[in-house]
Copies of this chain bind each other. A is one copy, B any other.
Amino acid sequence: MARQITFQQAINEALDQEMARDERIVILGEDIVGGAGAPGEIDAWGGVMGVTKGLHGKYGDRLMDTPISESAFVGAAIGAAATGLRPVVELMFNDFMGVCFDQILNQAAKFRYMFGGKAETPVVIRTMIGAGVRAAAQHSQSLYSMFTHVPGLKCVVPSNPYDAKGLLIESIRDNDPVIFFEHKKLYRLEGDVPEESFTVPFGEAEIVREGGDVTIVTLAEMVHESTKAAEILQQEGLECEVIDLRTTSPLDEETILESVENTGRVVVVDEANPRCSMATDIAALVAGAGFSSLKAPVRMVTAPHTPVPFNDSLEDLYKPDANKIVAAVREVSEYQTWKTAASKS
């Protein structure tokens, strides 16, 4: 059997292998070593989740702890990328984009285009998303839709250890700025991951489960809830095709549209808030290019339009889960258009 490691180990390994391969890679972020200037252990943390732990021992000052000055150090990563390094920077929680968004929105994302192709900005910003750990309103958001909205950025949302490794290596080798979103509930997830270096290309969604009745389009942690739902529905004889986007920008439109051509029914599952979101993005794609195949309304299963509540049971209610997905799939599968009703008779 193939080797099993966690999502977190997969990220660490990707960083390790790439740093060994390319001198230009540096890692910056708050406590990504941990213990700078302190009397105790050096490499005390490896980032708040321990993801970079151990790399300092191998690569020394190619990893640098930063002050709590996100604009300065995210910007520094971007500036260094434009002048010859290939930095990977950790923005602890994606919620903190608010204190450094300009450097991403107006600097990194714009350079290549507004300088007429004369700049490359090979920077990767790793950041944490997701609700589910009672971290409340300012540490639980999933803000990938905002980055996906911005031309010039590429956005990666791995759902499993294999993809985490392959997509991170791809991200590091890409010459555009990449935002790499790690769902905090996935770090301990184990899965098969080759030891050797490999890449997963951008813009290729994965069909994690095939099925001809309903297409479920989803990403990140929600891939697992969707799969759970698909298993439940299989008992009822409903076959779901579950599509894991893997990257939201670029987006693999073809895989989605082909699946919809088969099923005619779509549920989009996105943990984020509903408005102007990845959920609406996929729904709009299907309502446009996929319309001729559609046999039922596109249903979105998302968080409500509220901040993330602290209380456990409220937070559980807040998040989409297998039950809600099952209900949505049933709804679209039972939907009868004039057309489908007619064609049955």
Contacts and interface: CB of A to CB of B under 8 A. Distances in A.
A106 interface: yes
A313 interface: no
Interface in A300-314: 300, 304-307, 309-310
Given A114-B136, A146-B146, A287-B298, A276 B276 contact: yes
A337 interface: yes
Contacts of A110: 137-138, 307
A146 B150 CA distance: 10
A85 to B, nearest CB: 23
Nearest to A150: B273
Contacts of A279: 284
Nearest to A280: B284
Contact of A288 (B145, B297, B305): B297
Q: How many copies does the complex hold?
A: 2
B101 A106 contact: no
A299 B307 contact: no
Interface size of A as a range = 35 or more
A114 B276 contact: no
Interface centre among A113, A150, A289, A306 (most CB of B within 10 A): A150
Contact of A280 (B109, B146, B283): B283
B280 A291 contact: no
A304 B136 CA distance: 36
B113 A104 contact: no
A320 to B, nearest CB: 15
A138 B307 contact: no
Interface string A139-157: 0000001101111100000
Interface string A64-101: 00000001000000000000000000000001111101
B287 A276 contact: no
B307 A114 contact: yes
Contact of A339 (B103, B306, B339): B339
Contacts of A299: 288
10 contacts: A114-B310, A145-B276, A149-B272, A151-B273, A249-B275, A280-B281, A280-B285, A284-B287, A284-B298, A288-B298
